[in-house]
Structure 1
């Protein structure tokens, strides 16, 4: 690579900490490193034009798990694991709000709602039956009941009698959040280079050699915050999970306001002003959606459109304006991985589709490993 003396000196010489990934986790890790090591040289490498996975592509839910998701998690995780995971998500949300401020991220505490389709009578009854138990185990954390039954006031169709309401949920503006984090990082003299892919690294004991596509440099410590792209790094403990999303054009007299969940968190929708954002559906074809390739599939897009027409907006005309996808990091466990891989290499990955909630905390924990 044809680098000048100045480029080598200012960006790639005497690097103390290199963070791979400029999403929520990576930038919080870099900012925490700056707090701990005020005079250090910190470099963030990002392979995309913007954060590549889900940090600028998520739905902007400030949530920590719907009741059906929590009930489902209790089937594969211990009660203590589930409580601790919700605690981490809740603490992460408070850390994000404290760092950036509610006004900056357009935090709107509209609450969250879960709806259950008519055909999901078994899942609905199970959640309603277990609602008092879930409230009981979460009360030490939230100091009051989290979930309550509510009559539908939004005009949904083909759903069970009650919605389950959660007053602690909110929505944020994902783009505003990431711009604010990037501004914070730059103001703290953290160097950020985009469109740089780490192809290999070698921990030499006293430093790490980092290979980019056509350039190699040295850093004292290397931190990976690559979430859905951490499969090889974690020897298969994390695999990518694509999330497909669409957004409508403006809808006249839209009454839907809040964060909404459906089917164990596999579907989610919210208002953005007078539009509806709807995403999910990877449970229709897990094999195809366990991919790091961006894009849409017919089976999922048709299902999202069907939900809009038949359940969410049954009596309203709407047009879909835009579609996109993001890449999450999931695994057999929903517990994030924050670990030291070798003497000078660390990772904070596997956010389980809860990056907005847990990303700030995982970034901080990652930096505190150093």
Structure 2
């Protein structure tokens, strides 16, 4: 594609900072760069018409890790690492709320509840036995014990009669959140070019040369914030894509369920939104198959979601599905994000491990703070 003089001059010449990806991390990075370097020329590139990946496709959980997830994490991470992970997630949510305001993101705090299926009593017992330990570890983060036992007040089926509730978890409206972030960038006069997929980043002395479909341009520094798609540009970093499939029901009359809910070590999750139930997960049924950058749904996972919706979440009700979709997360063997300088001109903030809503604002800020 040939660029006109006007196109090149206005958007692509003398660029100080280029951010690749207009999701939570990318937009927070751009806003922080503008705050610290107000006279700089900043450009955000996005391959989709809307932010791709998970930022507009997630479930809107303001969560820090269910008890079974954290028990599992303690098997592969040190206590200090687990506390640091939870601390970062908590700080990230507070940063997001402070930046945009609770009304703008539809934030509500109804707690996060972990359900335990009746056919898996060992997991319930294991989590109960570690609850005091985790409360002691995490009390300094939240200022109180996060986990308490609560009864099955919403009438879910085929579960243990008690949940383990995280008192400080909340939920938000993902669409409102991203719209508010985009508005912030507009007000800060940060241009976002959609439909521009970066193919390669080349080092060019004291700058980087960015190659997209049909043209290239130079930028003094580049910030990669593409999370689940990071391996396309960052060959040396270990970030695997992980697809998450989601559905949402038609409106349900007299729906009284409020809060965010998890079961099966966080592999399944659901919540209320607009008198509907949003339900996602099932990646554990086909871990290898869901290690993909392709959007879409599969029969095995969608059938599982519908079965659990009808038997566990809303038993004995006639529920209709309104919409199905998928999002792409970035995961790895370690749950801590990768925020680092890769070369003289290139930086990355990726691998959010399915906790993008909680971590995105903080990772974006940390990424921008690496700029020279």
Same fold (TM over 0.5): yes
TM-score by length of 2: 0.98
Corresponding residue of 1:224:
224
Q: Matched residue of 2:145: which SS?
A: coil
Corresponding residue of 2:10:
10
Using the TM superposition, give the Cα deviation of residue 185 of structure 1 relative to its aligned residue in structure 2, in angstroms: 0.5
Using the TM superposition, give the Cα deviation of residue 235 of structure 1 relative to its aligned residue in structure 2, in angstroms: 2.6
Using the TM superposition, give the Cα deviation of residue 286 of structure 1 relative to its aligned residue in structure 2, in angstroms: 0.3
Corresponding residue of 1:266:
267
CA distance in 1 between partners of 2:252 and 2:199 (Å): 46
Q: 1:231-266, CA deviations, whole angstroms, 9 ceiling, x for partnerless residues?
A: 240535101000000000011111111000111111
Corresponding residue of 1:296:
297
Q: 1:180-234, CA deviations, whole angstroms, 9 ceiling, x for partnerless residues?
A: 0001011101110001011111112311111011001011001100000112405
CA distance in 2 between partners of 1:208 and 1:361 (Å): 25
Using the TM superposition, give the Cα deviation of residue 122 of structure 1 relative to its aligned residue in structure 2, in angstroms: 0.6
Using the TM superposition, give the Cα deviation of residue 88 of structure 1 relative to its aligned residue in structure 2, in angstroms: 0.3
Corresponding residue of 1:144:
144
Confirm or deny that 1:116 pairs with 2:123. no
Corresponding residue of 1:306:
307
Q: 1:131-166, CA deviations, whole angstroms, 9 ceiling, x for partnerless residues?
A: 111000001111111000011100101101210111
Confirm or deny that 1:50 pairs with 2:45. no
Corresponding residue of 2:41:
41
CA contact (8 A) 2:225 2:350 kept: yes
Corresponding residue of 1:172:
172
Q: Matched residue of 2:271: which SS?
A: strand
CA distance in 2 between partners of 1:270 and 1:169 (Å): 12
CA contact (8 A) 2:92 2:359 kept: yes
The 5 Å alignment of 1:1-370 reads 1-232=1-232, 233-235=234-236, 237-370=238-371
Distance change (3 Å), C-alpha of 1:121 and 1:135? same
CA distance in 2 between partners of 1:196 and 1:12 (Å): 12
Q: Matched residue of 1:359: which SS?
A: helix
Q: Matched residue of 2:104: which SS?
A: coil
CA distance in 2 between partners of 1:9 and 1:205 (Å): 22
Q: 1:53-104, CA deviations, whole angstroms, 9 ceiling, x for partnerless residues?
A: 0000000001010000000111111111110000000000000000000000
CA distance in 2 between partners of 1:308 and 1:235 (Å): 40
CA distance in 1 between partners of 2:360 and 2:108 (Å): 19
Residues paired across the two proteins, number: 370
Q: Matched residue of 1:339: which SS?
A: strand
CA contact (8 A) 2:2 2:214 kept: no
Runs of 5+ in structure 2 lacking a partner?
none
Note the aligned Cα RMSD (angstroms).
Answer: 0.8
Q: Matched residue of 1:231: which SS?
A: helix
CA distance in 2 between partners of 1:236 and 1:310 (Å): 41
CA distance in 2 between partners of 1:80 and 1:289 (Å): 30
CA distance in 2 between partners of 1:312 and 1:123 (Å): 19
CA distance in 2 between partners of 1:13 and 1:115 (Å): 54
Q: 1:294-350, CA deviations, whole angstroms, 9 ceiling, x for partnerless residues?
A: 000011001100110110000222100110000000001001000111001000000
CA distance in 1 between partners of 2:75 and 2:137 (Å): 15
CA distance in 1 between partners of 2:103 and 2:253 (Å): 26
Q: Matched residue of 1:315: which SS?
A: coil
Q: Matched residue of 1:322: which SS?
A: strand
Runs of 5+ in structure 1 lacking a partner?
none
